[in-house]
Chains A and B, each alone.
Chain A
């Protein structure tokens, strides 16, 4: 009998030793895996794409509604009294008071400050520092997040170090989720037994026995299946984690990992992101009450979120606070104060992809530098040139304009959404090449084809300024071009260009050719000036099109990319300097190191004097030419522009610019169906609506007359120097210093009296 018992004891002992050995070996094996998983990247952090910042300065035209919208998007909170904390604002009689948030950008690190923007007639009069009553010449609002490169997980997370996590937050989490966290070894037998009893008493699963470490092992290494094998694995992994890591390390990983709810289709993970999502704060600035809210959410993010049920959220917060007090982590007084604190959430906008065509363009460039997996996991910050104010204005203006056009011309309405009338807009800063806005089509969900960067369309008359610029050494702006019907032999066939409207004059000046968009005169210029010169000159504008020496080049017969066309016009707006279009400006890694820095890249394509002449002639297009409807549409600032319409109304264009911005609008069908409208009728209203909604870029800046440009009075009939009191119709015209009129009007200048005397004397002997 005794030997039987001994055998049993020996057997049990052996089994225990074997089990212990197995457990240790298995834990050792697991710890290798855990170390591998934890020592690499713990989390995949999506890269974030930001818009440009918003500069505010006295004299800038602003729309207060826009500023308020912008502040909301940036997470600022509206107050009914003077702002006391960073990220708050108040509307006042004279404008708006803003407590600016801290800025931490590649080119600007600045602490937040309180200032008032005095606004009068939609213009900032003064930026007043409230504390010192001094004035600022410039203030900057941070960039907006416009996209995140998610992987499959679609998680938002900002990793925080344990050193930045306030103690009351970690205390709140341990009190709520695992009160014996600092004393157990990964598994809490007391907790399991207590949970078992509670659940038996209530008859359903009311309490879980999982420790924080177990939750972590489940999230990191296991699926959510409910099997004994998975549970055992969870226990072993938890023990292995505890053996390998300190409690502080474990809670740091846990707090960065745990799920805190949904922002649209994106999940919020980690306390860093949760603090921002619920309270618009950095985690280190959370109050005790807010920490208790966040700790309470873990149990059921969809039940206890303040966004879904404030009452349940408050009850849960109070439970957490009581638990903290019971564990003597907070005093009675602290608990009472936290309980009376109302839960004030920051509000949020669902994650919504903005400026999709622009972002495709950005992605395309980034993918040349980094693979997709890096962008969705390495947490880069990508700063772009996009101005969200201009982007929204462009999207709205295009949609409204196309709808209006369809209503006005029933023949262009289409039943099939994919076949509907299309349009595209791009807005650039001509000096720097910054792309401020890009709308590549009417509806991104229906068609992702970017008509600004991917399409090639005939530019029609929009090519004419480039043609004229090619010949400014030969033709003067006042020189007369032939407007009579002439047939040209092209490829053994006769070709006779036609004008779009009725232009009765037999001859018109170069300026009027642009102003009225006269086709015959444009072809006359090209033929007289030489097709070789045009080809040489047009190639300097960096078009990817291969232009051929045909007279129809003057009418925009060769297809071009709209972005390249806009870029070519930048040279006219910026003293002959052509910038490279910039969308990505900086790429910063998660440690703040600069990976990519793109600067403005410029080169001269024409002289400043020639650029000025073109801009001056294109100003006539707006004041008294094919784009004069702009004045009626409320455009009252100096602007240069050119309309374009192609054969059979396939394309309608308008490109308008000032020294501060350049916008290109295209309207047409993808399949080349006629729009039955011109650049003036279809594109100009869109342009007008757009620029009226981007007041920040509207100034009274005019084109500065550079050296090398002279002004002369000329006769309208001859295009030559006007003769005082003799030429009936004269006007002031700009010329290149080296190509100015030298001859007096041959029509109206009569010989001088001395010359007449000698002529008469000579005639006596004839």
Chain B
């Protein structure tokens, strides 16, 4: 009896398994996804050096919004916000990175190259960002070479 029940259970599992849905396979990350890291959350400024940090926070707010527009392929909208971000904080590395990304989206490789240069300059102290900026540079070079 016990064996029957065990056998029945195995058969049942076997059949039920056939009815199971296919497990969604994660989509292979595209190069574009790799090039679009989420802006890091910047901690609220402490009282020391607040002026500088606050400027960075304000600029980051705009960069974040620009990034969201970029994800929706609204390149012009993203550029407008990112320009404001770098206007407030001229050393906003991610701002330049996304500006370069937006110009890549608009297939203006020359401007993308200019902004990538600034991104490399201002993101040089952050390894993961630097890697991304280097990858971006390669994509720009491919674009410039018409590949």
* Chain A residues close to B by CB (< 8 Å): 55, 57-60, 106-107, 123-125, 135, 137-138, 429, 431-432, 434, 574-575, 577, 585-586, 594, 597, 599-604, 608, 659-660, 699-701, 704, 706-707
Contact = CB atoms under 8 A, between A and B. Distances in A.
List of 7 A-B pairs having minimum Cβ-Cβ separation, nearest first: A59-B54, A57-B58, A58-B54, A59-B51, A107-B80, A137-B57, A659-B90
Contacts of A600: 83
Contacts of A599: 76, 79-80, 83
Contacts of A602: 111, 114-115
B62 A138 contact: yes
Given A57-B55, A58-B45, A577-B118, A431 B61 contact: no
Interface string B50-72: 11111101101110000000000
Interface in B26-59: 44-45, 50-55, 57-58
A660 B124 contact: no
Given A59-B55, A138-B62, A608-B121, 13 more contacts: A57-B57, A57-B61, A57-B88, A58-B57, A59-B45, A59-B51, A59-B58, A107-B81, A123-B51, A586-B80, A599-B80, A599-B83, A604-B114
A58 B111 contact: no
A585 B88 CA distance: 17
A431 B124 contact: no
5 contacts: A57-B57, A431-B90, A577-B118, A594-B76, A601-B111
Interface of B: 44-45, 50-55, 57-58, 60-62, 76-77, 79-81, 83-84, 86-88, 90-91, 110-111, 114-115, 117-118, 121-122, 124
A602 B119 CA distance: 14
Contacts of A660: 90
Given A58-B54, A575-B118, A106 B87 contact: no
Nearest to A430: B90
A59 B52 contact: yes
Nearest to B42: A137
Contacts of B60: 137
Contacts of B114: 577, 602-604
B106 to A, nearest CB: 9
Given A432-B87, A574-B90, A597-B76, A57 B81 contact: no
Contacts of B111: 601-602
Contacts of A707: 121, 124
Nearest to B92: A431
Contacts of B83: 432, 599-600
Contacts of A601: 111
Query: Which one of A137, A574, A575, A585 has the highest number of Cβ atoms from chain B below 10 Å of its Cβ?
Result: A137
Contacts of A706: 121
A699 B124 contact: no
A366 B113 CA distance: 29
A249 B114 CA distance: 55
A434 B104 CA distance: 23
Given A57-B57, A107-B80, A601-B111, A434 B87 contact: yes
Nearest to A707: B124
At the interface, is chain B mostly helix, strand, loop or mixed? helix
A589 B57 CA distance: 33
Contact of B58 (A137, A431, A577, A701): A137
A5 to B, nearest CB: 82
Contacts of A604: 114, 117
Contact of A59 (B53, B81, B84): B53
Contacts of A608: 121
Contacts of B53: 59
Given A431-B87, A432-B86, A659-B90, A55 B58 contact: yes
Contacts of A124: 54
Nearest to B54: A59
A630 to B, nearest CB: 21
Contacts of A429: 87
Contacts of B44: 135
Contacts of A135: 44
B105 to A, nearest CB: 13
Contact of B54 (A60, A434, A594, A704): A60
Nearest to B91: A704
Nearest to A582: B83
Contacts of B86: 431-432
A135 B62 CA distance: 16
A137 B54 contact: yes
Q: Among the interface residues A57, A434, A604, which one has the most CB atoms of the partner chain B within 10 A? A: A57
A55 B79 contact: no
A592 to B, nearest CB: 13
A581 to B, nearest CB: 14
A594 B76 CA distance: 11
Given A60-B55, A575-B118, A138 B61 contact: yes
Given A57-B88, A574-B90, A107 B77 contact: yes
A124 B51 CA distance: 9
A439 B134 CA distance: 43
B107 to A, nearest CB: 14
Contacts of A57: 54-55, 57-58, 61, 88
Contacts of B57: 57-59, 137-138
Contacts of B118: 575, 577
Contacts of B50: 58-59, 125
A727 B138 CA distance: 48
Contacts of B115: 602
A57 B89 CA distance: 12
A55 B80 contact: no
B69 to A, nearest CB: 9
B118 to A, nearest CB: 7
A699 B52 contact: yes
B52 to A, nearest CB: 7
Contacts of B76: 594, 597, 599
B84 A699 contact: no
A700 B52 contact: yes
